[in-house]
């Protein structure tokens, strides 16, 4: 089998972590007997400064032919406003391919110190990625007067809510068959009551999955106090955004947080990336932690159907963290990005 991957290294440490992570995926492909073909797209803030746009006009069409998109990070705020870099590249890709699932595994690996003694922390967060609180509907009147009013309306569609909760149920079936549905239906009487109704309707189709409703404030606390009671968590765009930052912090921070932007129906490329940005403060020094990007690569292989290779990569990452030997400065070590990636490759070879 062979897969075509579009590589978008982007800016800053994005280019550093993506190159190293790609060598890990290549190694995994050789060990597990499939091929990865890549084409690199230099779309970035540099590209913007030369061409006046973040990607060519037919950029989306160029990407459409690929099985997946593997992205480093995009943004260089000192030279290009974030609104330009985000709206010129990442958001158009998410929108064009309707990548409505944002899936993030939050697992505290052996040898990693999070801010809590979480013991076991292993939660899959499924965030709605296209509508809800970030729909952009709203406006302001009487601006800059004492009577000013700003309205920002959440938009929840039956199609949008159904498909994300259904994906949550499907993921619960691949794990512990426990789904937490996040709302605030005590305070938000239209959108979140609707979300609860859709959850209840779908629950009838998944009698083997235990569903629990949580209010977002309560589940935020539960992430910290009783994470072992949670497995798959499905949430709206805003609530998912907040909960995934808590999850990332508990799993050890940006060095570990990986993200998949998925269209589960397929036929279009999904996009895989670390949660972190281009880190201008450490870019160019070769010291960024590549583990989040390597983990995102594992999510990509899993999505492509190469589950064994994906598991082997995550296990290799954990073998490296458990030994506490090869660590980048963010984890208190002195290793380079390249050395960490090489350690993961060595762990893969030793499996
Ligand atoms: P950032 O995630 O780039 O950096 C925040 C802090 O975490 C910095 O101190 C950085 O050195 C550190 N850090 C991040 N990743 C690291 C890694 N792998 N290893 C070691 N340390 C790491 O967030 P910031 O500074 O707010 O944003 C910088 C640029 O990145 C902005 O232009 C922003 O818009 C963009 N960005 C892009 C994202 C994307 O492409 N999906 C996501 C987040 C931010
Ligand atoms: Mg966020």
Q: For 80-115, what is each residue's pLDDT tens digit?
A: 999 999 999 999 999 999 999 999 999 999 999 888
Atom of ligand 1 nearest to the CA of 288: 19
Instruction: Decide whether any atom of ligand 1 lies within 6 Å of the 288 Cβ.
Output: yes
* Phi, psi (deg, nearest 5) at residue 235: -150, 160
pLDDT score of 120: 85
Out of 276, 290, 338, 341, give the residue to mutate to test ligand 1, the one with the largest number of ligand atoms within 8 Å of its CB. Answer: 276
pLDDT at 119 exceeding the cut of 80: no
pLDDT score of 117: 75
CA distances (Å), origin 210, targets 192, 199, 233, 330: 20, 11, 12, 38
Out of 278, 285, 330, give the residue to mutate to test ligand 1, the one with the largest number of ligand atoms within 8 Å of its CB. Answer: 278
- What residue has token string 């920002």? 152
Averaged pLDDT, 253-280: 96
Domains of the chain by start residue, with CATH: 1-106+264-351 (3.40.718.10), 115-250 (3.40.718.10)
Residue 79 Cα to ligand 1 middle (Å): 15
Long-range contacts of 184-191 (CB under 8 A, 24+ apart): 184/215, 184/216, 184/217, 184/239, 185/213, 185/215, 186/215, 188/154, 191/132, 191/154, 191/156, 191/236
- 199-237, pLDDT tens digit by residue? 999 999 999 999 999 999 999 999 999 999 999 999 999
72-78-84 Cα angle (round to 5): 65
Closest-CA residue, ligand 1 atom 41, reads 73
Atom of ligand 1 nearest to the CA of 282: 11
Lateral strand order in the sheet of 210-215: 35-40, 2-10, 68-73, 270-274, 258-262, 101-107, 122-128, 232-235, 178-183, 210-215
Confidence of residue 136 (pLDDT cuts 50, 70, 90): confident
Which of 228, 255, 267, 242 has the alpha carbon at shortest distance from 328?
255
Atom of ligand 1 nearest to the CA of 259: 41
Instruction: Decide whether any atom of ligand 1 lies within 6 Å of the 160 Cβ.
Output: no
Instruction: Decide whether any atom of ligand 1 lies within 6 Å of the 254 Cβ.
Output: yes
pLDDT score of 114: 86
Confidence of residue 116 (pLDDT cuts 50, 70, 90): confident
Closest-CA residue, ligand 1 atom 44, reads 277
Residue 279 Cα to ligand 1 middle (Å): 4
Closest-CA residue, ligand 1 atom 42, reads 277
Closest-CA residue, ligand 1 atom 10, reads 279
H-helix or E-strand spanning residue 139? strand 132-141
- The ipTM estimated for the assembled molecules is 0.98
Nearby residues of 189 by Cβ (< 8 Å), 6 or more positions away:
none
CB burial of 148-187 (b: ≥16 within 10 Å; e: otherwise) equals eeeeeebbbeeebbebbbbbbbebbeeeeeebbbbbbbee
| Helices 291-304 and 337-350: angle between axes, nearest 10 degrees | 50
Nearby residues of 85 by Cβ (< 8 Å), 6 or more positions away:
11, 45, 48, 54, 74, 75, 76
pLDDT score of 47: 97
Instruction: Decide whether any atom of ligand 1 lies within 6 Å of the 111 Cβ.
Output: no
pLDDT score of 118: 66
Out of 75, 83, 93, 283, give the residue to mutate to test ligand 1, the one with the largest number of ligand atoms within 8 Å of its CB. Answer: 75
Q: Give the catalytic positions in this structure.
A: 134, 184, 217, 241, 245
Instruction: Decide whether any atom of ligand 1 lies within 6 Å of the 286 Cβ.
Output: no
Cβ atoms of 100 and 164 closer than 8 Å:
yes
Cβ atoms of 114 and 108 closer than 8 Å:
yes
């Amino acid at each position: 089998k062979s897969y075509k991957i579009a590589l978008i290294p982007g800016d800053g440490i994005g280019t550093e972590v993506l190159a190293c992570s790609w060598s890990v995926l290549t190694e995994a492909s050789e060990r597990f007997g499939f091929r990865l073909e890549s084409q690199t797209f230099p779309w970035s803030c540099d590209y913007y400064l030369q061409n006046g746009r973040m990607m060519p006009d037919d950029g989306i069409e160029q990407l459409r032919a690929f099985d997946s998109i593997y992205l480093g990070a995009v943004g260089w705020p000192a030279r290009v406003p974030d609104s330009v870099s985000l709206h010129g590249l990442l958001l158009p890709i998410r929108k064009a391919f309707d990548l409505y699932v944002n899936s993030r595994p939050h697992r505290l690996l052996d040898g990693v110190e999070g801010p809590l003694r979480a013991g076991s922390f292993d939660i899959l967060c499924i965030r709605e990625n296209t509508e809800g609180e970030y729909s952009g509907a709203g406006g302001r009147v009487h601006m800059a007067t004492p009577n000013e009013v700003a309205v920002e309306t959440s938009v929840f569609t039956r199609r949008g809510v159904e498909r994300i909760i259904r994906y949550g149920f499907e993921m619960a079936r691949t794990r512990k068959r426990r789904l937490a549905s996040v709302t605030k239906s005590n305070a938000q009487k239209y959108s979140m009551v609707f979300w609860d109704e859709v959850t209840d309707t779908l629950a009838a189709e998944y009698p083997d999955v235990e569903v629990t409703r949580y209010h977002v404030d309560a589940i935020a606390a539960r992430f910290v106090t009783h994470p072992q009671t949670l497995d798959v968590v499905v949430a709206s765009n805003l609530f998912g955004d907040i909960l995934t930052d808590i999850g990332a912090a508990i799993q050890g921070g940006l060095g570990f947080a990986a993200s998949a932007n998925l269209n589960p129906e397929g036929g279009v490329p999904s996009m895989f990336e670390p949660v972190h940005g281009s880190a201008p403060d450490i870019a160019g020094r070769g010291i960024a932690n590549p583990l989040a990007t390597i983990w995102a690569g594992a999510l990509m292989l899993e999505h492509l159907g190469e589950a064994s290779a994906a598991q082997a990569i995550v296990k290799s990452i954990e073998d490296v963290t458990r030994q506490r030997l090869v660590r980048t400065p963010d984890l208190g070590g002195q290793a380079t990005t390249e050395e960490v990636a090489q350690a993961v490759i060595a762990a893969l070879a030793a499996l």
